[in-house]
Amino acid sequence: MNRENYRILSATQCVRVIPSGKSLTVLSSCVPVRHRGDTLNSGILEIEFSSPALHVIRVRITHFAGRKDPGPHFVTYEGDPEVEITTDDEYAIFRSGNLSARVRLQPPWQVDFLNEKGEIITSSGYHGMQHMVDQNTKKSYTSDSLMLDVGEYVYGLGERFTPYLKNGQSVDMWNADGGTSSELAYKNIPFYMTNRGYGVFVEDASDVSFEVASEKVERVQFSTEGETLVYDLLYGQTPKGVLDLYTAFTGRPPILPAWSYGLWLSTSFTTSYDEQTVTSFLDGMAERNIPLSVFHFDCFWMKGYNWCDFTWDPDTFPDPERMLARYHARGLHLCCWMNPYIAQQSPLFREAMEKEYMLRTTDGNVWQTDLWQSGMGVLDVTNPEARAWYKDKIRPVLRMGIDCLKTDFGERIPVKNIVYHDGSDPLRMHNYYSCLYNRMVYELLVEERGEGEAIVFARSATAGCQQYPVHWGGDNSASYPSMAETLRAGLSMSQSGFAYWSHDISGFESTAPADVYKRWVQFGLLSSHSRLHGSSSYRVPWLFRARRRWSRSCVKSSTTTICRRPPTASAASSTT
């Protein structure tokens, strides 16, 4: 049964096949067509098959084609592969490399995706391709659902803290700052892969909704608002092959500087720190022979209420250039925090307001909020002049001696009554903002440091952001469960096209007990990038000494008593 107040059109019967150059278009009626009268007063779905890359088939489902599409759209790197189109009385077949789409010409409606052996890897069948209208809100949605086989498992969909296996989950693509203990995610990637050797990438930057063997337990259903749905099915035969196709299509992760793989240490967030504090950390690491590669200055390198003005707080760091030179002389690389928001107290705010470089509301005012920084606005990253202006405000910090930037936030992007410089759809820009933001800063670092030396430390992401690494897992907590959810997120990121990933070792919120800290250090050092960072307390290793006392442990049986000796003092200290 259909949900009340919804008008639903489902692909039901193929009524026309239109081969055209390198694409195949199939018209499907949404009712059985038994005579000419059935062609009246009923909708059709137009399904186009094309191939943007070898072994990839793009499916475009359209109801009404006359709607405007202001974007934004994901950047894809497309080729011009040879395709083969064949038709007979039973099927129309579109083939690209090892992948084919086979459309059944006689009822019932069925689209099968076949591998190089002619085996079905997945299908869209009964009530698969659909268009829906909510009669109350008048909003329209387009969806498809692809069949899952027995023992088929789904992975990916971005950095998700929920169970690693996505079967049974409902997942919405909506970047949000929800920490690591919920279904919310900082990095939503509308791409999934299965253990049957294929992946699916939905080419829509908005809040695509995935029902992964949940509402329909035999299928993965994905839907988006609007009259058109576009997705790509990539057949790579193996998980590695799928990721190879996907990253060739949406962008390869670049080579990073060798120094970035060493240990990172930060000031932490709200802790009290100045040059003396930082120097004491560096001295402590050196005295204990703990190699340190990068030191990071978090938010309060700038004066409170001024984020961002890209000016060192003179009360805390009166001579930043000489300080940075001294740290460089130790062989360290240096990082500073930033975000794309401009507080009202920042000297940059009025300049950005006058030049219309911040997001505006439909009534022409600057959009502002007190959430995070008082009266802050948001940089309009669709405006090339605004991006160039912001880069020029950051550039002096890099030339002063900072080597890389932590590009925090980018998730809290408004959507209601918002106007972008380039006319982009605010709903689609909510997630895509993260890509333009991190690309802007990464390109600045390439300009200042050169290819192979650029690196950001980003929190938000969407498809394509793997080209602007590194990304870290956001606000976790100092506990074993949070370490586990962080690990699940990293694994999901790796199956979403991201080669580099990090996290706050021992948890961002609260302070970990020694056992959690030690175990998390081991986990952190096995991640591609390793950072000691927290919220309200320092994360230097010598503050996490074990406080438990060792005692003789005896186990009695009916015939003997086995006593285990405590470790020696040297052995105990070596575990610290």
Nearest CA-CA partner of 153 in 214, 194, 198: 194
User: Which string of DSSP letters, residue by residue, matches 220-282?
Assistant: EEEEEESSEEEEEEEE-SSHHHHHHHHHHHH-PPPP--GGGGSEEEE--SSS---HHHHHHHH
Measured distance CA(281)–CA(264) in Å, rounded: 12
422: which 2 tokens? 């380039």
Measured distance CA(58)–CA(310) in Å, rounded: 44
Measured distance CA(158)–CA(161) in Å, rounded: 10
Nearest CA-CA partner of 268 in 478, 410, 445, 441: 478
CB atoms inside a 10 Å sphere around CB 140:
17
Q: Which residues pair with 193 in a beta bridge?
A: 155, 199
Cβ contacts of 208 within 8 Å, gap of 6 or more: 172, 173, 190, 202, 222, 223, 224
User: Which residue in this structure is represented by tokens 């608002």?
Assistant: 225
Measured distance CA(531)–CA(522) in Å, rounded: 12
Q: How far is CA 44 from CA 40, 62, 131, 381, 431, in A?
A: 10, 9, 10, 38, 31
Angle at 120 (CA atoms; ends 118, 121), nearest 5 degrees: 120
Q: Which residues pair with 85 in a beta bridge?
A: 94
Q: Which residues are catalytic?
A: 408, 411, 475
**Pure H helices in 409-548:** 426-449, 480-494, 514-525
Measured distance CA(77)–CA(99) in Å, rounded: 19
130: which 2 tokens? 């659909």
**Pure H helices in 343-479:** 347-354, 384-400, 426-449
146 near 160, Cβ under 8 Å? no
First-residue to last-residue Cα distance in the chain: 62
Measured distance CA(27)–CA(17) in Å, rounded: 7
Residue 114 corresponds to which amino acid?
L
Q: What is the DSSP letter of 402?
A: -
Residue 233 corresponds to which amino acid?
L
Measured distance CA(255)–CA(266) in Å, rounded: 24
Nearest CA-CA partner of 156 in 43, 60, 234: 234
Measured distance CA(447)–CA(313) in Å, rounded: 26
Q: Which residues pair with 470 in a beta bridge?
A: none
User: Which residue in this structure is represented by tokens 């790796």?
Assistant: 494
CB atoms inside a 10 Å sphere around CB 571:
10
Q: Where are the beta strands (DSSP E) in 148-204?
A: 154-158, 169-172, 188-194, 198-202
